[in-house]
Each structure stands twice: as structure tokens, then as C-alpha cells.
Structure 1
């Protein structure tokens, strides 16, 4: 499961809302706060870049599918005008499924050029979704 931004933020809230019992004081609580802080920082990056990354990725997948439609049987790549993370993720899931089926057909046919183009695109997808870890203090 890949948690959504709202899932992470609600989890952080639930983790910190109740006072901890005495046995969770000290180092345990410090570790808990550090994890919540790190998740909050990563969630902030996702909030800042998430919509743009999904819009860019969805458009690029549609372009790959459209380009391949002359040589392969490709599903219609429906999009969404809604810019919520949930709507963009739902469209992205459909597009990724179509891209995976295209990639399987490309591999089965031995289409090396298109196979390499899809692999390069997978790397670009990962870069679009990259979250940067902050420098953490050493202990």
C-alpha cells in the first residue's frame, strides 16, 4: 500500500494526539517525534510538488500511449480535469495499467527502441516523484 498525503497527515495526528503512557517517555518518545517530523517534512514536499508531478506524468503517459497507438493496440487514455490528488491518482492508476500492458506487448514483439524509451520514461517517473531526505543530525 502506498499511503496518500492525507493518510500520512492523519496518521501523524493520530500518533501525537494522545498523551503517551509513562513507559513511552524518554528515548521512545524522542524517536516517535522524530519519525512524525520526518513524515511531516516528506508530506510537505509531496504537498508542494505532488499535483504538478501527477499532471506531468499523466500527460507524458498519454503521449507515449498515443504515439504507440499506430503500432500497437492501446487503450484510450482518459484523463481528468479535476486537480485533487485522489482524482489524479485514479487517472494515473488507469494510465499506468495501460502503459504496463503496452510495455508487455513491446517486450513480446522485441521492439527494442520502444522498450528503451519506456524504461527511460520509468526513470523520469521516479524522478518526478522523488522526495528528498533532509540531512539528519548524527548521534
Structure 2
């Protein structure tokens, strides 16, 4: 696949994914232009989201994509959205999020990453945000 074709396919995947994320979270989600801000394809609050749309998504590729997402998600929570042809979207994100553990090296290993649907990831995002808001309200 040529570079331009690959970029177009990536853009289509990002646009395809923005709508269901927005619907699940009740927020406006837009594809980011690479030259601006972070290296995320899509940013959702504290989440730095990378989108991969490929014909196949073998585990070895997902591990490499996850490592790359870790390297660029500085100060944000990483999420990797993967869509292989004729398969549903899968979202990879750190287990430490639901445990309230800090995002440190050991918690970012692929072996302790959650692989969920977009709906399950969005549920976690909503709950984490609600917990943060409750904590802030209690601190006032």
C-alpha cells in the first residue's frame, strides 16, 4: 500500500471511530491533524488515542503498536484502537486505570493491558471521570 493510500485508510478509520466514541461518551470527538498538539490520532479528555485500521492485526503487530503508543502518550492515558477487516474494533488500554494506580513503567507492559470493545472502554472512561469529579467535589 502506498503512503498516500495508507494515510487515507488511516484517516477513514479515525473518522469512522470518532462517531461511536462521541455517541458513547456524549462528547464531540474529532480526528486530529498530526502537525498540531500531541501525537494522538484522537484525544478524548486525558486519553491519547492511536487508531490502527489494517487488513489483519496479529498480536505481534498490536504489541509493537502498543509500545509506540506508550512512547508518545506522555502525561496522558494511552489507548490503542485496532480494527482488522471484518472484525469489530478492539481497544487496548492500561489495567492501571481501573485500579487507580499511577502510570509507571511496569503498568504499561502489554501483558497487563485490557482488550475491550469501544463500549466497554467508554464505560471505564465515564466511571473514571465521574470518580474524579466526585473526588474534586469532596475536596471543596
TM-score, L = length of structure 1: 0.28
Larger Rg: 1
Which of the pair is proportionally richer in helix?
1
- Structure of greater relative contact order (alpha carbons < 8 Å, 6+ residues apart): 1
Which of the pair is proportionally richer in strand?
2
TM-score, L = length of structure 2: 0.28
